[in-house]
């Protein structure tokens, strides 16, 4: 049906309406009305009407041609023949359907970020050297409560990748596990120091000294008000399942633990920094969770601007005598804005002095900047953890929330002076980037590590006793001889003397704790906790090349760990055994797979 045919019924209907209207008017019944008279058109008028009729005929012809052209669409192309596609015609007489409102579709999720190459960064370091006690009797270091190295290495091994040596930090392996150190009895002295001395599992002629520190435990219900700023990396590199999605799940767990007196802010950074959620009470969890859920990854990483905005929010909601902390969650890929590490450390250090701490949480693989994440946490009086699973997120942010958030002691330093009459040599296992100069111990201007509520810190020293015959360092030609005397009167009863300095929160002057370590403390056999700690240290050494433990190999490490699992309710020690079994074929490719007992 062409357009003229379709318009005919409409024209007929209009004509009928006009005719009916004329008929309804009827003849004039008013006597005074003038009579109607038919007048013939003039020649000029007749010519005008003829011209109008021709114009209408032309328009009708044009409409007919237009209608015919709408009945077909010709498709052409360089490699296609001409064809006709029938276009169905709409029924103009049918009523138009009602238009229902449909919300615009949600924007599609951006594709996952593809990292072109592995650009992970780890700080280069060497193992602590063996020290001769007669030359260097004093060992000083800052405590460390970080655990990120262990979980990051666990992720690599789970991926079937051999960890680089610099990714392995023995102290963070040790501090991942609970050894049952006794806790402080009151907040007057916020932590308790304990020691254990026993033969080293890898060589009975050596000794292993374990120093344990346990912070005062504070129930979650009595934690002071918390002012937390979630500083979240939303750059394009975070667009992977083990990055932003896992991050949102982790922070959602922490948000559900918040109370009405707590405050949460959310700051994101990519190409630029932005405020997603201003300081919000912890009981408004719906708003907090909705703000987390809407986050998407995209853009480059302007970490410097994000940190500045996060600290501004922390200052705005600052809580006196409370927990004020920025929690930075990132893969560490800083590539826009303030990228100089020294500038970032200065910024974080300045904010630390104003009472705002910084905790860093690492996520993902491929471009993880472990070196920067750990260093910022150290400078910011916080701790660094790596989140490789939802289970690890729960451990760090829910189960250990008090120790993660509430600092009970600041600038904690340990100094041990070894008695050369008893100790020929010693070596501190791990803590290479925490070693302090001897004079820094009593200098309260020198920053050191912090301890959170319930935190546990473990350090191990390998000791070579005088006269053992297993000294690693050759004798000195002109060395002092008196230090090697073996008579009891000359040696006394002290094998070493331990000093510990710390500051209470809000105080500038440190306090001193001293305790002797007596030779009589030597046990015939190490406790299960010390044996398990030794196996953890041995595993870290094997991953770094296996050169420090007198040939202690995989079989011995596994046997020691299996025999020291004890009451492993959390399953962490059994998980460690499985990790060692999984790592062994990567280091020794010809080793047959071992099934955990």
Q: Which two tokens stand for residue 573?
A: 């020690």
CA distance 338 to 273: 12
Residue 237 burial (CB count, 10 A): 27
Q: Report the C-alpha gap between 515 and 496 in whole angstroms.
A: 9
- Tens digit of pLDDT for each residue in 278-311? 999 999 999 999 999 999 888 665 667 788 899 9
Rounded mean pLDDT, 536-553: 95
Length of the chain: 597
Task: Report the 10 Å Cβ neighbour count for 88.
Answer: 5
Q: Is residue 6 part of a domain?
A: no
Q: Count CA atoms closer than 13 A to 44's CA, side-chain side.
A: 0
pLDDT at 494 (0 to 100)? 96
- Asked if residue 383 and residue 263 are part of one domain, the reply reads yes
CATH code for the domain in which residue 204 is found: 2.60.40.1230
Burial 312-327 (b: 16+ CB within 10 A, else e): ebbeebebeebbbbbb
Cβ 197 vs Cβ 495: under 8 Å: yes
The reply to whether 1 falls in a domain is no
Q: Are 145 and 405 in contact (CB under 8 A)?
A: no
pLDDT at 5: 45
Mean pLDDT along residues 420-446: 97
Instruction: Please state, in angstroms and as integers, the Cα–Cα distance from residue 266 to each residue in 204, 251, 311, following that order.
Output: 54, 10, 11
205/351 same-domain check = no
State the Cα–Cα distance between residues 583 and 588, nearest whole angstrom: 9
Domain co-membership, 299 together with 428: no
Same domain flag for 279 and 397:
yes
Instruction: Report CA Rg, the chain.
Output: 40
- Comparing 178-187, 207-216, 245-254, 264-273, which segment has the lowest mean pLDDT? 264-273
447 and 395 within one domain: no
- Among the listed residues 485, 494, 542, 503, the one whose alpha carbon sits nearest the alpha carbon of residue 522: 494
CATH of the domain at 323: 3.40.50.410
Same-domain check for residues 282 and 366: yes
pLDDT digits (tens, 9 = 90+) for 60-97: 565 455 444 434 333 333 333 333 333 334 343 344 44
The answer to whether residue 422 is domain-embedded is yes
Same domain as 382, residue 237: yes
Return d(Cα 152, Cα 516) in angstroms, integer.
37
Confidence of residue 343 (pLDDT cuts 50, 70, 90): confident
Which residue segment(s) compose the domain that 302 sits in?
221-403
Q: Does a structural domain hold residue 363?
A: yes
Same domain, 283 and 356: yes
- Looking at residue 48, its pLDDT comes to 65
Q: Are residues 225 and 205 in the same domain?
A: no
What is the mean pLDDT of the segment spanning 520-530? 97
In this structure, the answer to whether residues 395 and 253 fall within a common structural domain is yes
420 φ/ψ angles, rounded to the nearest 5 degrees: -65, -15
Q: Do 265 and 363 lie in a common domain?
A: yes
Task: Give the residue from 429, 433, 402 showing the smallest Cα distance to 190.
Answer: 402
Do residues 286 and 202 make contact, with C-beta atoms less than 8 angstroms apart?
no
**Among residues 366, 387, 403, which one ends one of the domains?**
403
Q: Which residues pair with 324 in a beta bridge?
A: 227
Both 393 and 415 in one domain: the answer is no
Question: Is residue 544 included in any domain, yes or no?
Answer: no
Domain annotation covers residue 170? yes
- Residue ending a domain, among 350, 371, 403, is 403
Nearest to 403 by CA among 567, 270, 214: 214
Domain tally for the chain? 2
Residue 31 is assigned to a structural domain of this protein = no
Last residue of a domain, one of 364, 380, 403: 403
Residue 273: partners with Cβ closer than 8 Å, 6 or more residues away: 267, 302, 305, 306, 308, 309
Q: Are strands 226-233 and 263-269 parallel, antiparallel or unpaired?
A: parallel
On whether residue 175 sits in a domain, the answer given is yes
């Amino acid at each position: 049906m062409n357009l003229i045919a379709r318009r005919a019924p409409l024209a007929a209907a209009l004509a009928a309406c006009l005719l009916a209207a004329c008929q309804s008017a009827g003849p004039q019944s008013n006597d005074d009305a003038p009579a109607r008279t038919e007048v013939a058109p003039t020649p000029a008028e007749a010519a005008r009407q003829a011209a109008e009729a021709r114009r209408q005929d032309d328009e009708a012809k044009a409409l007919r041609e237009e209608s015919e052209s709408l009945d077909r669409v010709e498709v052409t192309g360089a490699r296609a023949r001409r064809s006709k596609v029938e276009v169905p015609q709409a029924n103009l007489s049918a009523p138009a359907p009602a238009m229902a409102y449909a919300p615009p579709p949600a924007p599609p999720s951006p594709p996952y970020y593809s990292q072109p190459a592995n650009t992970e960064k780890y700080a280069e370091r060497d193992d602590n050297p063996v020290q001769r006690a007669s030359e260097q009797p004093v060992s000083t270091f800052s405590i460390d409560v970080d655990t990120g190295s262990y979980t990051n290495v666990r992720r690599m091994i789970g991926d079937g990748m051999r960890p680089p040596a610099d990714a392995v930090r023995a102290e963070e392996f040790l501090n991942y596990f609970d050894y049952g150190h006794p806790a402080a009895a009151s907040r007057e002295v916020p932590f308790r120091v304990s020691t254990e001395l026993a033969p080293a599992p890898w060589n009975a002629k050596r000794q292993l000294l374990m120093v344990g520190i346990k912070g005062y435990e504070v129930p979650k219900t009595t934690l002071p008000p918390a002012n937390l700023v979630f500083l979240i990396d939303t750059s394009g590199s975070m667009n992977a399942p083990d990055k932003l999605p896992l991050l949102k799940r982790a922070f959602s767990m922490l948000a559900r633990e918040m109370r009405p007196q707590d405050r949460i802010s959310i700051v994101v950074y990519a190409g630029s920094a932005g405020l997603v959620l201003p300081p919000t009470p912890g009981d408004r969890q719906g708003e907090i969770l909705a703000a987390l859920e809407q986050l998407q990854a995209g853009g480059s990483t302007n970490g410097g601007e994000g940190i500045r905005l996060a600290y501004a929010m922390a200052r705005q909601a600052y809580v006196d005598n409370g927990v004020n902390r920025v929690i930075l969650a990132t893969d560490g890929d800083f590539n826009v804005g303030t990228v100089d590490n020294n500038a970032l450390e200065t910024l974080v250090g300045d904010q630390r002095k104003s009472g705002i701490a910084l905790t860093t949480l690492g996520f993902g693989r491929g471009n993880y900047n472990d070196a920067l994440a750990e260093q910022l946490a150290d400078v910011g009086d916080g701790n660094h953890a790596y989140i490789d699973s939802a289970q690890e997120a729960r451990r760090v942010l829910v189960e250990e929330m008090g120790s993660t958030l509430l600092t009970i002691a600041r600038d904690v330093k340990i100094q041990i002076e070894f008695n050369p009459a008893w100790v020929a040599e010693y070596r501190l296992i791990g803590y290479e980037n925490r070693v302090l100069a001897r004079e820094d111990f009593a200098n309260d201007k020198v920053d050191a590590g912090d301890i959170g509520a319930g935190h546990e810190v473990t350090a191990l020293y390998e000791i070579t006793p005088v006269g053992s015959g297993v000294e690693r360092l050759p004798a000195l030609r002109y060395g002092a001889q008196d230090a090697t005397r073996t008579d009891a009167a000359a040696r006394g009863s002290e094998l070493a003397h331990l000093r510990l300095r710390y500051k209470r929160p809000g105080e500038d002057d440190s306090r001193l704790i001293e305790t002797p370590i007596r030779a009589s403390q030597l046990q015939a056999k190490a406790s299960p906790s010390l044996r398990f700690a030794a196996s953890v240290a041995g595993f870290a050494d094997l991953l770094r090349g296996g050169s420090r433990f007198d040939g202690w190999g995989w079989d011995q490490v596994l046997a020691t760990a299996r025999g020291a699992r004890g009451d492993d309710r959390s399953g962490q020690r059994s998980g460690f055994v499985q990790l060692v079994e999984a790592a062994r074929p990567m280091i020794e490719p010809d080793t047959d797979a071992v099934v955990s007992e």
